[in-house]
Amino acid sequence: MAMTHQQHDDVQYLARHIPKGLELGLRNYWYPVLQSEDLVAGQPLGFRALGETLVAWRGRDGAPNVVFDRCSHRAAKLSLGRVLAGDLQCALHGLRFNGRGECTLIPWEDEDSPLRNNVGVTGYPAREIGGWIYAYIGDPQVYPPPPLEDVIPEELLKPDEFIVFRHPIDVWKCNWLQALDGSDGFHAVMLHSESQPVAKKDWHGGAVERPAVKQEDRRMKVLDTPQGLRGVAYDPAGGDQLHHGHFLHGWKGERWTLPCLFSLPLAPAPNVPPYVARLYQFPIDATHTQCSRWVAMRASTDAERDRCRHFYEEIIGPRQRKVMSEDKVMSESIGDLAETRNAEHLFAADRDVVTVRRMMADAWLAQHGGSRPTHGPDAMAFPV
Ligand code: FES
Ligand SMILES: [Fe+2]
């Protein structure tokens, strides 16, 4: 993705790398806003994303629809309405809208009244795939949505080749840019020192046996790897090095893909299948972040799937839950976005964080300048 740092005289900044507006996310991308089971046929569901109040429902064919959650008549919430004939009808006086947001009925006017053309609501393209409901939030007329299949991870498209474990959607009380910062590759040896144990080489299952470096004696080396900067804990007085993260070698994809997808390829222990953790973090509003995430492994036979399921339930699931709750607590502790950004003291070890901050700022500025950055076709490949 080629982008140059751009200058725009008319752009105001909240803080360095945060043009005003970016705090509410990058528009004109597909986002995994809901999980399939959240959206029950016949029941509209209100939600928020990128600072917008939206409603989803399933049409006659079961496919999801997403429009503004605000009736164009007198502003009642459409999410309190009824699904009738596949459309969404406002509960208050009965205006009815289809999945594109077009008004299909004004109950006190003729069925084909042209007045319907004046009262549409904004609708966004929506698709369901791999247990997720994706919505394209932005302006499809200016930036037509790319086919969803081109911009989502490979495993969601190939259920016969992969097994995917979705986590429940989580909400963090912080700005999404602060949540993204939490993906730096060197905090794990400190923050996750207990929750992310790494097995000894001869580990074959059961409780994880690990080399001990006492917290008090623990120091860190920040190493530059093909997968970015990562931390390795060690005891300067000798003793075992303690590796964390176990990034896979031979990773084909990019760790970061727009608008906000972080891909972490992991080989957590010998003798277990490698996997990739995927994490989207996008704004609900300026102070709340939605985390939509899953873990995927390559598995095509029943025996492989059983093995992966066992591995996930025994090790990966509990570990991910602990690690993410530690990340959440830290991100929520940081405080006001602009204030804290302006007070930071960054080190060379923060290089990757700065790279991601620039990437997000550049994507926002590119759209401000009339173009929308996208990734190459390989960006969503499974690691190995
Ligand atoms: S407010 Fe929706 S029909 Fe009147
Ligand atoms: Fe973390």
Q: 147-152: list long-range contacts, CB under 8 Å, 24+ apart.
A: 148/30, 150/377, 151/29, 151/30, 151/257, 151/374, 151/375, 151/380, 152/30, 152/380
**Is 182's pLDDT higher than 80?**
yes
**Domain 149-380 fold:** Naphthalene 1,2-dioxygenase Alpha Subunit; Chain A, domain 1 (3.90.380)
Please tell me the distance from the alpha carbon of residue 275 to that of residue 18, in angstroms, as a whole number. Answer: 33
For ligand 1, atom 3, the nearest C-alpha belongs to 93
Instruction: Provide the token pair at 202.
Output: 């001869």
Alpha helices in 12-96 (DSSP H): none
**Is 191's pLDDT higher than 60?**
yes
Q: What is the pLDDT of residue 331?
A: 97
109 Cα distance to chain centroid: 43
For ligand 1, atom 4, the nearest C-alpha belongs to 93
Domain positions in the chain are 29-137, 149-380
Of 113-117, 207-211, 298-302, the range with the lowest mean pLDDT is 207-211
Domain 29-137 classified CATH 1.20.140.10?
no
Tell me, in angstroms, the distance from the centre of ligand 1 to residue 335's CA. Answer: 39
Please tell me the distance from the alpha carbon of residue 160 to that of residue 72, in angstroms, as a whole number. Answer: 44
Going by pLDDT thresholds of 50, 70 and 90, the confidence category of residue 2 is very low
**Is 1's pLDDT higher than 50?**
no
Atom of ligand 1 nearest to the CA of 75: 1
Tell me, in angstroms, the distance from the centre of ligand 2 to residue 361's CA. Answer: 22
Do residues 95 and 78 make contact, with C-beta atoms less than 8 angstroms apart?
Answer: no
Tell me, in angstroms, the distance from the centre of ligand 2 to residue 356's CA. Answer: 16
Q: Which of 55, 67, 90, 96 to mutate to test ligand 1, by most ligand atoms within 8 A of the CB atom?
A: 90
Q: Which of 67, 88, 89, 92 to mutate to test ligand 1, by most ligand atoms within 8 A of the CB atom?
A: 92
Average of per-residue pLDDT across 277-298:
97
Do residues 35 and 166 make contact, with C-beta atoms less than 8 angstroms apart?
Answer: yes
382/311: higher pLDDT = 311
Do residues 373 and 27 make contact, with C-beta atoms less than 8 angstroms apart?
Answer: no
**Is 126's pLDDT higher than 90?**
yes
DSSP characters over 316-330: IHHHHHHHHHHHHHH
Please tell me the distance from the alpha carbon of residue 173 to that of residue 283, in angstroms, as a whole number. Answer: 10
Tell me, in angstroms, the distance from the centre of ligand 2 to residue 54's CA. Answer: 30
Of all residues in the chain, what percent carry a pLDDT higher than 70?
88
SS3 helix, strand, coil % of the chain, rounded to 5?
Answer: 25, 30, 45
Q: What is the pLDDT of residue 250?
A: 61
Atom of ligand 1 nearest to the CA of 93: 3
Please tell me the distance from the alpha carbon of residue 285 to that of residue 52, in angstroms, as a whole number. Answer: 8
For ligand 1, atom 1, the nearest C-alpha belongs to 74
Of 200-204, 263-267, 339-343, 372-376, the range with the lowest mean pLDDT is 200-204
Which ligand lies nearest the alpha carbon of 95?
Answer: 1
Tell me, in angstroms, the distance from the centre of ligand 1 to residue 71's CA. Answer: 6
Of 26-35, 173-182, 211-220, 326-335, the range with the lowest mean pLDDT is 211-220
In degrees and rounded to multiples of 5, residue 9 shows phi and psi of -65, -25
The pTM (predicted TM-score) of the whole model is: 0.93
Which ligand lies nearest the alpha carbon of 76?
Answer: 1
* 31-75 confidence digits (pLDDT tens): 999 999 999 999 999 999 999 999 999 999 999 999 999 999 999
In degrees and rounded to multiples of 5, residue 243 shows phi and psi of -85, 145
In degrees and rounded to multiples of 5, residue 45 shows phi and psi of -130, 120
Please tell me the distance from the alpha carbon of residue 289 to that of residue 49, in angstroms, as a whole number. Answer: 9
222/43: higher pLDDT = 43
CA distances, 200 to each of 166, 268, 318, 320 (Å): 28, 10, 19, 19
**Is 30's pLDDT higher than 80?**
yes
Average of per-residue pLDDT across 200-218:
65
Q: What is the pLDDT of residue 310?
A: 92
* 135-168 confidence digits (pLDDT tens): 999 999 999 999 999 999 999 999 999 999 999 9
Q: What is the pLDDT of residue 7?
A: 64
Q: What is the pLDDT of residue 209?
A: 58
Do residues 166 and 131 make contact, with C-beta atoms less than 8 angstroms apart?
Answer: yes
Tell me, in angstroms, the distance from the centre of ligand 2 to residue 126's CA. Answer: 31
Please tell me the distance from the alpha carbon of residue 183 to that of residue 171, in angstroms, as a whole number. Answer: 16
Of 61-70, 167-176, 221-230, 326-335, the range with the lowest mean pLDDT is 221-230
Q: What is the pLDDT of residue 285?
A: 98
Of all residues in the chain, what percent carry a pLDDT higher than 90?
70
Q: What is the pLDDT of residue 3?
A: 45
- Ligand 1 site residues (CB inside 6 A) read 71, 73-74, 76, 90, 92-95
* 65-111 confidence digits (pLDDT tens): 999 999 999 999 999 999 999 999 999 999 999 999 999 999 999 99
DSSP state of 22: G
Which ligand lies nearest the alpha carbon of 109?
Answer: 1
Report whether the peptide linkage leading into residue 373 is cis, meaning its omega lies within 30 degrees of zero: no
Q: What is the pLDDT of residue 251?
A: 62
Residue whose pair of structure tokens reads 């043009």 in the numeric block? 19
Which ligand lies nearest the alpha carbon of 230?
Answer: 2
* 331-384 confidence digits (pLDDT tens): 999 999 999 999 999 999 999 999 999 999 999 999 999 999 988 767 788 865
Which ligand lies nearest the alpha carbon of 73?
Answer: 1
Q: What is the pLDDT of residue 81?
A: 98
Please tell me the distance from the alpha carbon of residue 339 to that of residue 336, in angstroms, as a whole number. Answer: 6
Q: Which of 87, 93, 103, 113 to mutate to test ligand 1, by most ligand atoms within 8 A of the CB atom?
A: 93
Please tell me the distance from the alpha carbon of residue 278 to that of residue 261, in angstroms, as a whole number. Answer: 7
Report whether the peptide linkage leading into residue 125 is cis, meaning its omega lies within 30 degrees of zero: no
